[in-house]
Amino acid sequence: MKKVVTPESEIIEETALHLAASFYEIGRSSGLQSKHKNARSYAKANMELFIPRALEHLLEMLGNPSFSQDGKDLIYRAIMERSNNDDMRTLFPSDTQNDRHLNNFQLPKDFMEQYFPAKKVS
């Protein structure tokens, strides 16, 4: 049995937790009900669902010229240390035909656009 090596950086998980907590707060402030008592417990229970959006967000930061090089290096290292880990591949979104079966998250097609719209650049 292979063991998953603890990643050096947990920036992907931390970003996913923050996105999940924000989603919870938005939903609660909109009047939605939840079995979770607070944003923290919701985020902890649903973090894996937000990994794809966290990765997308972090990758967008890599392309932002105003973001610090140290921050970009941290993000790059966090992503690259997991790129060949088969046990972690199920958490990463993939559009290739060979990897589609690895996507274990099932969000509605417009879920992220609806709840996390992209910022419009003026």
pLDDT at 36: 92
pLDDT at 79: 80
Q: What is the pLDDT of residue 3?
A: 43
pLDDT digits (tens, 9 = 90+) for 24-83: 999 888 888 889 999 999 999 999 889 888 888 988 888 888 999 999 888 888 887 776
pLDDT classification of 10: cutoffs 50, 70, 90: confident
CB neighbourhood size of 28 (10 A): 15
The model's confidence at residue 2, banded by pLDDT at 50, 70 and 90, is very low
Distance (Å) of CA 107 to CA 50, 60, 86, 110: 10, 21, 22, 8
Rounded Cα distance, 2 and 112, in Å: 33
Tell me if 5 sits within 8 A of 84, measured CB to CB.
Answer: no
Supply the pLDDT for residue 88: 56
Condensed to tens digits (0 to 9), the pLDDT of residues 83-109 reads 666 655 555 555 555 555 545 445 556
If we measure between CA atoms, which residue out of 95, 92, 111, 103 comes closest to residue 20? 111
- Residue 71: burial class (beta carbons within 10 Å; 0-12, 13-18, 19+): middle
Cα dihedral: 105, 110, 111, 112 (round 10): 100
- What's the pLDDT at 98? 56
